[in-house]
Amino acid sequence: MEILIAIAIGTLTACGLYLMLRARTFPVILGLSLLSYAVNLFIFISGRIKLNAPPIIGEGSQYTDPLPQALVLTAIVISFGMTAVLVIMALGAYLTAGHDRVDTDADPEDQA
Amino acid sequence: MNLTIELLISALLIIGGSFGLIGSFGLLKLREPMQRLHAPTKATTVGVGASLIAAALTLLWQTGAASWQGVMVAVFLFLTAPLSGLMLAKAHRHLSRPDLPPTGTKAPWAGETPPKP
Amino acid sequence: MLTYALTFAIACFALALILNLIRLATAPTMPDRILTVDTMVINVIALIVLYGVQTHSTVVFDAALLLAMTGFISTIAFCKFLLRGGIIE
Amino acid sequence: MSQLLILPVILPAILAGAIILIARNTLNAQRAISILGTIALLALAITLIQAPTQSYFLGNWPAPFGIALVLDRLSALMLLLTATLALIVLIHTIRTGWDTKGRHFHALYLFQLMGLNGAFLTGDAFNLFVFFEVLLIASYGLMVHGGGEARIRAGVQYVAFNLLGSTLFLFALATIYSTTGTLNMADLAQKLPQIPANDTALIRVAAVLLMLVFAVKAALVPLQFWLPGTYANAPGPIAALFAVMTKVGAYALIRFGTLVFPTDLPATNTLLASLLYPAALATIAVGALGTFGTRSLPRQIAFAAIGSMGTLLLAVSAFTPQATAAALYYTLHSTLATAALFLIADLTRCRRDGMTAALYMAAAIAMAGMPPLSGFVGKLLILDALRGDAIAWAAILIASLLTMIGLARTGSDLFWKSPSTEAPAESKTAILLCLAALATLTIAAGPITSWLTLTAEALHAPTAYIAANHLGGTK
Amino acid sequence: MSRLFPHPMLSATLFLAWLLLAGSTAINSLLMAALLATLIPLATQAYWPSRPKIRHPLRLISYIALVLYDVIIANIQVARIILFMPADQIKSAWITVPVDLPCPEAIALLAGTITLTPGTLTAEFSADNKALLIHALHAPDPDATRAEIKSRYESRLQRIFR
Amino acid sequence: MSLALIAALPFLGALTPALTQRFGRSIATLTVALFTAAALALILNHLPAIIVGDTVTTQINWLPALGLNANFRLDGLALLFALLILGIGLLIQAYACFYLDKTEPYARFLTYLMLFQGAMLGIVLSDNILLLLVFWELTSLSSFLLIGFWSHLPQARQGARMALATTGAGGLAMIAGLMILGHIVGSYDLSTILTQKTAIQTSPLYLPALILILLGAFTKSAQFPFHFWLPHAMAAPTPVSAYLHSATMVKAGLFLLARLWPVLSGTPEWFWIVTSAGLITMAFAAKVALFKDDLKAILAYSTVSHLGLITFLLGLGTKAAATAAIFHILCHATFKAALFMLAGIVDHATHTRDIRALGGLRRAMPITFGLATIATLSMAGIPPLNGFLSKEMMLEEAAHTAPWVIPVLATLAALLSVAYSLRFLTYTFLGPIPAYSHSPHDPTPGLWLPPAILAALVVAIGAAPMPLAGWLVDAATSATTGEPIHAHIALWHGLETPALWMSLAAIGGALVTLGLYPALRRVWDATPKPQAKVIFDASLTALTHTAHTFTAKLHNGSLSRAFAAAVLTILTLGLYAYQSAESLPGSRALAAIAATPAVGFALMITAALAATALHRKRLLALLLVGIVGLILSASFAYLSAPDLALTQITVEVVTVALMLLALNFLPKITPHETPRLRKLRDASLAIGTGIATAALAYALMMREAIFPPISAFHLAQSLPGAGGHNAVNTIIVDFRGYDTYGEIIVLGIAALLIFALTESLLGTKWATRPDQSAGDAGDPHPIMLQTATRLILPMAMLVGCYLFLRGHNQPGGGFVAGLVFAIGFVLQYIASGQDWAAARRRIPYHAMIGAGVLVASFTGVGSFLAGRPFLTSNYTHIHLPPLQDFELATAALFDLGVFLCVLGAVMLALDALARLAKPQTAKDAC
Ligand code: NA
Ligand code: NA
């Protein structure tokens, strides 16, 4: 199982990074989403894996580490907020600039 | 008694699993997009439904505590599946523009593209 | 027997997911793909429920409930996108 | 345990919440709340800077299980710096009407202060991440305040790059938790030395990743790319406020570099210092060349800010009490100097009279490290602390020259070449306050540096910091 | 009473749903169910402005039972089509079903019923809500399908809703 | 204290013009003059003590940690310079009052002048080399302002920048040099340093320190090859040239050489570097001066030459030479300041400074002519003027110095000096009168009195050197050398002094040279000369260009490259950190791979890869990313993390809605535009990092934590301490509720940001209109959707309440509940439209966020009442018959804050985005 999860984390990271390296805002946003999936899984496994052991006291005899789960929850919420912000900013950039390239001019005032 | 329940649950599970698989198989097999829309209803209704009943019975049988949340799962699936179906059908129609029978009333079909002003 | 039936059911839905994947790869149109993902959601709901049976735990049922309640929204939103461009008008 | 410790965090949050709830459509009320809140924060900071090192156990849970705030000299200093700068910038914003150019300025501003204060106070590594995010997202909002193509597009880059940084932060924290089982910084400081010598690779990875996160915030080369576009395109007062944002990175580098990963820690040893040193040199170079080679004033200031971060971090990289003290002095100086320059740049958009020129001159002098202002003192302190390091000296001095020439050229083009335009007199109060603060730094350099020396010594021997973690949280 | 319970059926549904979710009929659960069954419809009544008149709630229940039965039967039929009928023999058809139901809720219920029973699917409404467009997976005789829908479902719904 | 006050007086004076300018120039000038005079008086007050060899000092601790102290000292050397600075300063103030045009910003000029005066005075009074550096740099800055005073002239701006760059660079070198000196000695106090000759000269750091200090001194004093800035500084108003560039600032370098003479001089290094620089400068600049036609240029090069002379003398390292140097500093200040002022007068009267266009002014301007004659002849070293005396002393020293080239060069320089001086005088005042645009005449006394005073000094010192200047030279030289010196200055030393013959040779040679001038001039004009300005400009331009290109290339605005650099750095350093240490192999037993999860993960990986490969089709990519999210949610459910599953599911829905809302506007296709090589680079970086991350994840999963994780406490205390069965939830709302507090604020801010940005977008004209042609189907609000969502909203709220209430003990909680509520409302938006849904909103979304923050905050603050820290939770079990007992926890109240904030934030953001989709409608305030 661990190998599978590691591969999943690696793939999500790689895909996310590749998309983040694209030149348009939308792929960058998608890339960040994939990357945040990867990191959420990564934080999650930092407490290691226990199957069928949810950290609900009294539901079983052993529990997975609840702390990383709490951290992932925070991370999910924050990355949700951040994604939303990036989306609206990408939208604003597109609407005002007329294109959705992420690259800006080196020194706009030099050209002027 | 135990065997009966076990048999019943097993049957439900097998029926549920089969219909779930048939649904996805139909999705693959059927040729026309509109036909494929019919397939997943099986997984939605009998597939998940049977599994849910099986789950409820199993838990009732094995832990002694009834779990009725499954009913709510089914309620939501039944409530929402027609909506997905409708919207997907609309999307299909919008993109492929098949010839439709007349409405039989004075009004057109609601999803038809309104004339440009 | 129950174990075998359960395994069978789980295998069916897992297989269904694989079929979905094939469909997804070969789907000719966008609505087809959306439909496939919609079906995937249902299959995953079934798998989650069956996993709960397998582990004698209802803890995961909430996940199934939420998926059932919210999964279709993405389908509708995608369709509405294809139909109207805007999903909220 | 004093409840005062939590106030720098929750006071702005409550005020911002109140603004959203009841005052979101009345500008004057927003301004009043904002100003009063910032003054209160300043008063709080002044109170706290006199307090001994102490912890605050949130939820009354003992460390390291709950989250602890730790107030020490360094965090108090950063609180004071933030509050001072915040008040100055806020005055400028209100007097220039920047806050009317978009919605929710004041709520975002207060949340920004909350995030900064939270980051400076926390004694928990993951909580630091949370407050980094608070301060970042508020800064995103302030950065695009008022809108406009260039600003929003620069904002996209700013956000995207920092999201990469935040993701890296999480990777690092997860690695730390996974290897050590704890997140409390003082707890880490106690546990890391016990790691077996033959099993340090993972914690080293975590240390490097974590420091890279802070390097992003501190705009350390080659992670500085986000800064020029952001600072140059942000609204003037916001760029001025952002002067403290890079310092958050510097703060975290200093905090972790002295508390958690000190140079005598067997696991990491001088790893971080040896990585920081060349990066700081490169940062100085990039900053100086940018200041020298750029013509638009805001961009130039942005590069000067990068250069000053390089100088600061060069001092940090020595990881000696003397160098740390110098770095802290330089932190105060470069924050205020950068802010002053940005405020002046904001003023020069419509006004280039003699008075503005004089203010510019003063701020540029400070920024370039020329006497008599604090930049010179800071530079001397760092040079003195880095004695014997010819490369460091050459880098700092040449950078100082390039910065001076660059700023002089821009200034002479701006105030001498182009005629002064007549525009309604805008308030210079904030700028004067900022320069007054710089002058105070200079005149009172003696007492300030001796205070900072004690601070640096406490940082390099953090027994009080660690001890404060064991004093409460009885639940 | 109608001001306190703008949608009595909804309140009943919510009451029941809460008990199902909570999985308990203890006094606390009943109280909470009653509370929510009162408060939620009140809080959301703006989002449900119309108030469908249901004449016979019991008939509604029997209607639901009928549909569930039909779902199972139809599933088997459609499964046979999917599994065993060659693709070129499947005769799909678009069918227009004129409807005459008093309220949107009833129309939606009919449309949902049609979709849930495998083999047919509501694909569209006429703009005036007087006709449904139905897609049948395999309908060699569209008129029969139309007639069955009208007689089996629509007429029942006409009797339930006013 | 008094020395500090003296040093402060000019700075205080600098503040006055802004206040006094309204009363007119005279008052303004008088006011600043008062400050200068006061400083002068206070200096003179110490005169008796200084003359007998005492040193007056003042100590103020400024920055003891560094050793930068406001220590001042007044000794003979400082006295000499202070008198020059303040005395000539007074004359300059008077002169400037009449010189500057009425339209000029005179107050600003006076301010700059006083700033400079203060800085200069500070240098000479400093008893701490760091303090000296402060003032040193201040002179660079204030001279920058003064040179650039006529800022409308390009040459003024350029001259100012050139001076600043050159002296600034030297100043920075000097910082290094002086700090090294301080490090050698262990103190930055001059009083200490001056006693440490042996320590300094035996230190291995002596040579670097010497070179760096000399760089500072030579740039300031315009020594070859740093001389080029001085002639360009002549773009300054003449009073500035007279003050800074003849009498004072350029002598700061000499002052420094003299100041440090006791500890730096006497070594071969010192001798060779300083004398050669001085000698070359002296001869070279004199030669250039001979061929200049601009009055001020001649004077400028002459100044350079004389500075060289003094430098040369200081380099010799003997006491006699030092005496000569000191004396010449005094003499040069008198005649050169006068000459500059006179050149200014000529300029004023004739509107030209080109000596080829001048001539015959002796009749029109007799006073000027008389004064100029005295000063020029002194410059030429003609007896009996003071310039002669000091030049004789120089030649005498040169004559006794080997090798022979030194006396020869010195004589040659003297020759050239005589030649250019005579040329200066004759071309301007003698010969025929050219056609002036208006008739020139002598100026008002205000302009000629200051140079007259100086000329009087020139004559007087020449006539009676010992009574007038002997005491001052003695005091200054004693202070310079550190030993009591009694100079003997006289006109006549007898026939056997070589200097006499060298002087005569120089005068004779000069006459010959002037006779041959036309021929020499042709040769000169025909000789290609490296133009220092051209070289300086070219190198500065090249440097600027390089810096600009470098910066523009480096910061080319490419986010992808910034990402690539960051990722590469992270990857490289991460690998390095790992490689450079040991690690034990992991030993944990791994979980078995079941078939179904394997299918799930395979699906997730495939979907991620497909989304990457097909990312150009944006809608499809979004759908595929949605699959990843779906499987991830299921994985969390499978991996014993039900709370995560719930959260992921609900967040996913809202995220997709958000992305689709945005994609409505954005292009639906990403164009092909990246070159293959770039893709290869990106792919390698991505894959490399992916592999590293996977390896790290695997390594972590393979091993237990080195120390017992703190979460054991959370599990143990969840029920007894925090009153909840769900340990994840108790961590979120209690153990680490503070994290959650920050997290909801992040969400709230996100919503505010989205709202604010939307508002600003609604107010602007867009470059792009959304492309609506793709979706032109009718029926925006299908009736079935509308009807069904009326039922789904209450059901969703019910489920939300359910998840909220049980969250403490089972999966759920305020966050998920808020999202479920939000999803119910979002459905209303989707089904019935923004107008319809927004019109039915009872509570503004803003208010929900605000209320959420406040509820959470005040729940936390509530524990203050019990004297507990923020967010200390409390719970109790209530027994209310006939009810079963139930739990009331403050954590639930906190969770309510979370709930409100989440609901408000999601709705505010979506509502804002939805409003963006129809910008034609009026803004509805929330
Ligand atoms: Na169907
Ligand atoms: Na059907």
- pLDDT above 60 (res D360): yes
In terms of Cα–Cα distance, which of D338, D321, D262 is closest to D449?
D321
Interface test with C, best of F651, F660, F835 (most C CBs within 10 A): F660
Peptide bond just before F403 cis, omega within 30 deg:
yes
Question: Residue B70: which of C38, C61, C76 has the nearest Cβ?
Answer: C61
- pLDDT above 70 (res D473): no
User: With touching defined as 3+ CB pairs under 8 A, do chains E and A touch?
Assistant: no
- Decide if D148 and A39 are in contact by the 8 Å CB cutoff: no
CB-based contact (8 Å) between B29 and chain E? Answer: yes
Distance CA D284, CA D386 (A): 15
Predicted pLDDT at D423? 62
Name the one residue in this structure whose structure tokens are 């949280």. Answer: D473
Domain range summary for chain C, segments of one domain joined by +: 2-84
Chains that touch C (3 or more CB pairs under 8 A): A, B, F
- Give the distance (Å) from ligand 1 centre to CA of residue B47: 13
Give, for F901, the enclosing helix (H) or strand (E): helix F890-916
Q: Which residue of F has its CA nearest to A100?
A: F666
Give the pLDDT confidence of D114-158 residue by residue, as tens digits: 999 999 999 999 999 999 999 999 999 999 999 999 999 999 999
Give the pLDDT confidence of C57-83 residue by residue, as tens digits: 888 899 999 999 999 999 999 999 999
- Decide if F768 and A56 are in contact by the 8 Å CB cutoff: no
- pLDDT above 50 (res B65): yes
Query: Using 50, 70 and 90 to split pLDDT, how confident is the model at D475?
Result: low
CB-based contact (8 Å) between B98 and chain E? Answer: yes
In terms of Cα–Cα distance, which of E115, E145, F779, E109 is closest to B101?
E145
For residue E15, the number of C-alpha atoms closer than 13 Å in the C-beta half-sphere is: 13
Tell me the chain C residues in contact with residue A59 when contact means C-beta distances shorter than 8 Å. 57, 59
Chains that touch F (3 or more CB pairs under 8 A): A, B, C, D, E
- pLDDT above 70 (res F758): yes
Interface test with A, best of C48, C51, C53, C55 (most A CBs within 10 A): C55
Q: What share of chain F in percent tops pLDDT 70?
A: 98
- Give the distance (Å) from ligand 2 centre to CA of residue F156: 90
Under DSSP, is residue F1 helix (H, G, I), strand (E, B) or coil? coil
Say what the ipTM of the complex is: 0.96
- Decide if B47 and C42 are in contact by the 8 Å CB cutoff: yes
Domain range summary for chain F, segments of one domain joined by +: 266-468+482-510, 719-926
Pick D83 or A58 by higher pLDDT. D83
- pLDDT above 60 (res F34): yes
Predicted pLDDT at D106? 97
In terms of Cα–Cα distance, which of F639, F912, D132, F342 is closest to A66?
F639
Give the residue-averaged pLDDT of B50-72.
85
Distance CA F666, CA F770 (A): 7
- Eight-class DSSP state of E116: H
Which alpha helices (H) appear in F516-617, and where do they start and end?
517-526, 532-554, 559-579, 595-613
- Give the distance (Å) from ligand 1 centre to CA of residue E10: 25
CATH code assigned to A2-105:
1.10.287
Query: Using 50, 70 and 90 to split pLDDT, how confident is the model at C88?
Result: confident
Give, for F634, the enclosing helix (H) or strand (E): helix F618-638
Distance CA E73, CA D252 (A): 67
Distance CA A25, CA D229 (A): 17
Predicted pLDDT at F922? 40
Query: Using 50, 70 and 90 to split pLDDT, how confident is the model at F921?
Result: very low
Tell me the chain A residues in contact with residue F552 when contact means C-beta distances shorter than 8 Å. 106-107, 110
Q: What is the 3-state secondary structure (H, E, C) of chain D?
A: CCHHHHHHHHHHHHHHHHHHHHCCCCHHHHHHHHHHHHHHHHHHHHHHCCCCCEEEEHHHCCCCCCCEEEECHHHHHHHHHHHHHHHHHHHHHHHHCHHHCCCCHHHHHHHHHHHHHHHHHECEHHHHHHHHHHHHHHHHHHHCCCCCHHHHHHHHHHHHHHHHHHHHHHHHHHHHHHHHCCCEHHHHHHHHHHCCHHHCHHHHHHHHHHHHHHHHHCCCCCCCCHHHHHHHHCCHHHHHHHCCHHHHHHHHHHHHHHHHCCCCCCCCCCHHHHHHHHHHHHHHHHHHHHHHHCCCHHHHHHHHHHHHHHHHHHHHHHCCHHHHHHHHHHHHHHHHHHHHHHHHHHHCCCCCCHHHHHHHHHHHHHHHCCCCCHHHHHHHHHHHHCCCCHHHHHHHHHHHHHHHHHHHHHHHHHHHHCCCCCCCCCCCHHHHHHHHHHHHHHHCHHHHHHHHHHHHHHHHCCHHHHHHCCCCCCC
Give the pLDDT confidence of F532-585 residue by residue, as tens digits: 778 888 998 899 999 999 999 999 999 999 999 999 999 999 999 999 998 888
Give the residue-averaged pLDDT of D243-256.
97
pTM passes above 0.90: yes
- pLDDT above 90 (res B68): no
Predicted pLDDT at B111? 85
Give the residue-averaged pLDDT of F2-15.
93
SS3 of chain C: helix, strand, coil, percent, to 5: 85, 0, 15
Give the pLDDT confidence of D32-43 residue by residue, as tens digits: 999 999 999 999
D472 within domain boundaries: no
Distance CA F355, CA F425 (A): 9
The whole-angstrom distance between F856's CA and the closest CA on chain C is 26
The whole-angstrom distance between E21's CA and the closest CA on chain B is 5
F253: which 2 tokens? 């370098």
Give the pLDDT confidence of F182-197 residue by residue, as tens digits: 999 999 999 999 999 9
- Decide if F547 and D412 are in contact by the 8 Å CB cutoff: no
Mean pLDDT over all residues of chain F? 91
- pLDDT above 90 (res B70): no
In terms of Cα–Cα distance, which of D327, D406, C3, F95 is closest to C11?
C3
- Give the distance (Å) from ligand 2 centre to CA of residue B112: 23
In terms of Cα–Cα distance, which of D159, D13, B26 is closest to E82?
B26
- Decide if A90 and D229 are in contact by the 8 Å CB cutoff: no
Query: Using 50, 70 and 90 to split pLDDT, how confident is the model at F772?
Result: low
The whole-angstrom distance between F776's CA and the closest CA on chain B is 6
C-alpha pair distances (Å), C20 with each of B25, B38, C9, D80, F645: 8, 15, 16, 59, 22
Chains that touch A (3 or more CB pairs under 8 A): C, D, F
Give the pLDDT confidence of D398-425 residue by residue, as tens digits: 999 999 999 998 988 888 877 566 666 6
Query: Using 50, 70 and 90 to split pLDDT, how confident is the model at B60?
Result: confident
Give the residue-averaged pLDDT of F498-510.
83
The whole-angstrom distance between D422's CA and the closest CA on chain F is 17
Identify residue F125 by its one-letter amino acid code.
Answer: L
**N-terminal to C-terminal alpha carbon distance within chain C:** 53
D347: which 2 tokens? 């003023």
Chains that touch B (3 or more CB pairs under 8 A): C, E, F
Identify residue A42 by its one-letter amino acid code.
Answer: F
Tell me the chain F residues in contact with residue C24 when contact means C-beta distances shorter than 8 Å. 627
- Decide if C70 and F620 are in contact by the 8 Å CB cutoff: no
8 Å CB contact between F338 and F424:
no
Strand partners, F860: none
Pick F267 or B117 by higher pLDDT. F267
Give the pLDDT confidence of F796-844 residue by residue, as tens digits: 999 999 999 988 888 889 999 999 999 999 999 999 999 999 999 989 9
Pick A110 or F668 by higher pLDDT. F668
Produce one character per residue of F252-283: b if its CB has 16 or more CB atoms within 10 Å, e if not: bbbbbbbbbbbbbbebebbbebbbbbbbbbbb
Tell me the chain F residues in contact with residue E22 when contact means C-beta distances shorter than 8 Å. 802
- Give the distance (Å) from ligand 2 centre to CA of residue D92: 67
Backbone phi and psi for residue D428, each to the nearest 5 degrees, phi listed first = -110, 10
Tell me the chain F residues in contact with residue B79 when contact means C-beta distances shorter than 8 Å. 788, 791-792, 795
Peptide bond just before F585 cis, omega within 30 deg:
no
Peptide bond just before A68 cis, omega within 30 deg:
no
Give the residue-averaged pLDDT of F445-460.
92
Q: Which residue of F has its CA nearest to D64?
A: F710
Q: What is the 3-state secondary structure (H, E, C) of F159-170?
A: HHHHHHHHHHHH
Give, for F877, the enclosing helix (H) or strand (E): strand F875-878
- Decide if F786 and E104 are in contact by the 8 Å CB cutoff: yes
- pLDDT above 90 (res C14): yes
Question: Residue A108: which of D141, D150, D160 has the nearest Cβ?
Answer: D150
In terms of Cα–Cα distance, which of A73, D178, A45, D133 is closest to F727?
A73
Which alpha helices (H) appear in E4-154, and where do they start and end?
8-22, 27-44, 57-84, 104-116, 142-148
Q: Which residues of chain E have pLDDT under 70?
A: 1
Question: Residue A98: which of F553, F767, F815 has the nearest Cβ?
Answer: F767
Report the DSSP pairing between strands F56-58 and F875-878.
unpaired
8 Å CB contact between C19 and B28:
yes
8 Å CB contact between D53 and D72:
yes
Query: Using 50, 70 and 90 to split pLDDT, how confident is the model at A111?
Result: very low
In terms of Cα–Cα distance, which of D405, D420, D302, D299 is closest to D358?
D420
C-alpha pair distances (Å), D59 with each of D2, D65, D474: 14, 10, 10
- Decide if C31 and B92 are in contact by the 8 Å CB cutoff: yes
Ligand 2 being an ion, which residues bring their Cβ within 5 A of it?
Answer: E 117, 120
- Report the number of distinct structural domains present in chain D: 1
Tell me the chain A residues in contact with residue F710 when contact means C-beta distances shorter than 8 Å. 67
Distance CA F643, CA D352 (A): 59
- Torsion D314-D320-D323-D328 (CA) sign: positive
CB-based contact (8 Å) between F432 and chain D? Answer: no
Give, for E125, the enclosing helix (H) or strand (E): strand E120-125
Tell me the chain B residues in contact with residue F780 when contact means C-beta distances shorter than 8 Å. none
The whole-angstrom distance between B3's CA and the closest CA on chain F is 27
Tell me the chain B residues in contact with residue C50 when contact means C-beta distances shorter than 8 Å. 13, 51, 55
- Give Cα F661 to chain centroid, integer Å: 45
Predicted pLDDT at D419? 59
Question: Residue B6: which of C2, C10, C76 has the nearest Cβ?
Answer: C2
- Decide if E32 and F782 are in contact by the 8 Å CB cutoff: no
Under DSSP, is residue E26 helix (H, G, I), strand (E, B) or coil? coil
Distance CA E45, CA C86 (A): 26
Identify residue F366 by its one-letter amino acid code.
Answer: P
- Give the distance (Å) from ligand 1 centre to CA of residue E122: 8
Collect all residues from A whose CB is shorter than 8 A from any CB in D.
Answer: 20, 25, 28, 32, 35-36, 39, 42-43, 45-48, 67-68, 71, 74-75, 78-79, 81-82, 85-86, 89-90, 92-93, 96-97, 102, 104, 107-110
Distance CA D81, CA D250 (A): 14
